[in-house]
Amino acid sequence: MALIVQKYGGTSVGSVERIKNVARRVAKWKAAGHDLVVVPSAMAGETNRLIALAQSLQQHPDPRELDVIASTGEQVTIGLLTMALLELGVKARSYTGWQVKVLTDSAFTKSRIISIDQDKIRKDLKDGYLAVVAGFQGMDDQGNVTTLGRGGSDTSAVALAAALKAEECHIYTDVDGVYTTDPRLVPEARRLRTITFEEMLEMAGAGSKVLQIRSVEFAGKYKVPTRVLSSLTDPAIPVAEEGQSGTLITFEEDPNMAMEKAVISGVAFNRDEAKITVHDVPDRPGIAYAILGPIADAHIDVDVIVQNVGHDGMTDMTFTVHRNDYAKAMKLLKDQVKPHIKCRDVTGDERIAKVSIVGMGMRSHAGIAAQMFRTLAEEGINIQMISTSEIKITVVIEEKYTELAVRVLHKAFELDQA
């Protein structure tokens, strides 16, 4: 049968009873003849608790030591899940990221995977064992414990699936698939049977919380078919039925989808960003690098970037960063960049949100941007920044208008229609 990697999120393993349910589900797939590698997250809330402990001792915890602390949540989960599997008579072994080993770079708290040693896992699979591997963590070439950043267990699972050439990677969460938008905001949101990797990548980048963006990048790069499923369903549901449920992220557009009608696949939003403006900088070659180079060197990711038209040899540059990096970025810009480039000022705003529409149909339909802007204007929502790709349009707006913007765009593009 097939080799399948299954990842279970924090809510899926949030209690001993839920861990037992995960074990029953995994045992069912094993009994059906599949080889399995299981990647669990830390129990829900555990990583936040560990980080809070660290912050009680250091306001800005040392990144290396923070990784040592944060990585322990997954170690607890793999041990508990393996015990639950052994109790069901399933041959299983647990591994930390460094026992595998998952080799990463040394960017503590947000490391990237370089390679995965498959030998131990392949030997276990050959001997009839099921491997339970800690997500979110790895080790650099100096032997330091590293973590992949929040949501990194998704990346661990997809990376393992790619390395092992798994038939599918199953991502189990507390939702039963990918929806046209967050159903908690819009009850009329629909679950998508399939979505392309391009669309999922744009949705994740725009704020959809179903999958971490790096996991989607891995899946697309190594062509790992990935299915989003719910772990809160009956664990005894037949394998044949469960294996066709949820949302499958594919490499090609669904041939059964009416492409002339399905222009937009979803509306995504993100409240986790902040806006920074560098005022009156010299309008000359190299100025963008002078501003953003130090930001990149500090491992701060920049998203939407807008540079205004120059006037009198000067210009403004505005960009967004994650709110967790906002204070660090502002301090860096004011202390180091501002004196170097001699700009007038650096200002910021943490009360913004990003709202995006995503869809493959944008490639062949005109007027999508105009419809989006008209819909927001009719509700009195001012657009502060605009960013586009071939299949996505993103606007930055005041945070207080987020829910309204998502609802009206979902309705305007008829995403509630089956």
Q: How many residues are recorded in the chain?
A: 418
Structure tokens at 237: 């549901």
Q: Which residues of 351-374 are buried (b: 16+ CB within 10 A; e: fewer)?
A: ebbbbbbbbbbbeeeeebeebbee
For residue 398, give Cα distances in angstroms to 90, 226, 380, 384, 391: 52, 34, 11, 8, 23
- What is the rounded distance in angstroms from the CA atom of residue 47 to the CA atom of residue 418? 38
Q: What is the pLDDT of residue 258?
A: 44
At 312, the amino acid letter reads D
Residue 255 pLDDT = 52
Q: Of 168, 25, 170, 172, whose CA–CA distance to 85 is shortest? A: 25
Q: Hey, CA dihedral for 293, 295, 301, 303, is it positive or negative?
A: negative
Which residues have CB under 8 Å from 371's CB, separation 6+? 412, 413
- pLDDT reported for residue 256: 52
Q: Provide CB contacts within 8 A for 367, sequence distance 6+.
A: none
What's the confidence (pLDDT) of residue 151? 79
DSSP designation for 309:
P
Cα three-residue angle 188-189-191, rounded to 5 degrees: 130
User: Residue with structure tokens 């009994």?
Assistant: 31
**What residues are paired with 356 via a beta bridge?**
268, 394
Q: Distance between CA atoms of 207 and 356, rounded to whole angstroms?
A: 8
Which contiguous run of DSSP H or E holds residue 137? strand 137-139
Distance, CA of 154 to CA of 283 (rounded, Å): 42
Q: What is the pLDDT of residue 328?
A: 95
DSSP assignment of 142-205: TS-EEE--TTHHHHHHHHHHHHHT-SEEEEEESSSS-BSS-TTT-TT--B-SEEEHHHHHHHHH
Tokens of 156: 């661990």
Q: Residue 325 CA to chain centroid, in angstroms?
A: 17
- Which residue segments constitute the domains of the chain, with CATH numbers given? 3-250 (3.40.1160.10), 258-418 (3.30.2130.10)
Angle at 175 between CA 170 and CA 178, to 5 degrees: 75
Contact in structure between 246 and 177 (CB atoms under 8 Å):
yes
- Assess contact for 29 and 4: CB atoms under 8 A: yes
Q: Going residue by residue through the chain (418 aa), what tens digit of pLDDT does each one get? A: 799 999 999 999 999 999 999 999 999 999 999 999 999 999 999 999 999 999 999 999 999 999 999 999 999 999 999 999 999 999 999 999 999 999 999 999 999 999 999 999 999 999 999 999 999 999 999 999 999 987 799 999 999 999 999 999 999 988 899 999 999 899 999 999 999 999 998 998 888 878 888 888 888 889 999 999 999 899 999 999 999 999 999 876 545 544 444 589 999 999 999 999 999 999 889 999 999 999 999 989 999 999 877 778 899 999 999 999 999 999 999 999 999 898 999 999 999 999 999 998 887 788 999 999 999 999 999 999 999 988 999 999 999 999 999 999 999 999 988 6
Nearest Cα to Cα of residue 101 among 74, 121, 126, 123: 121
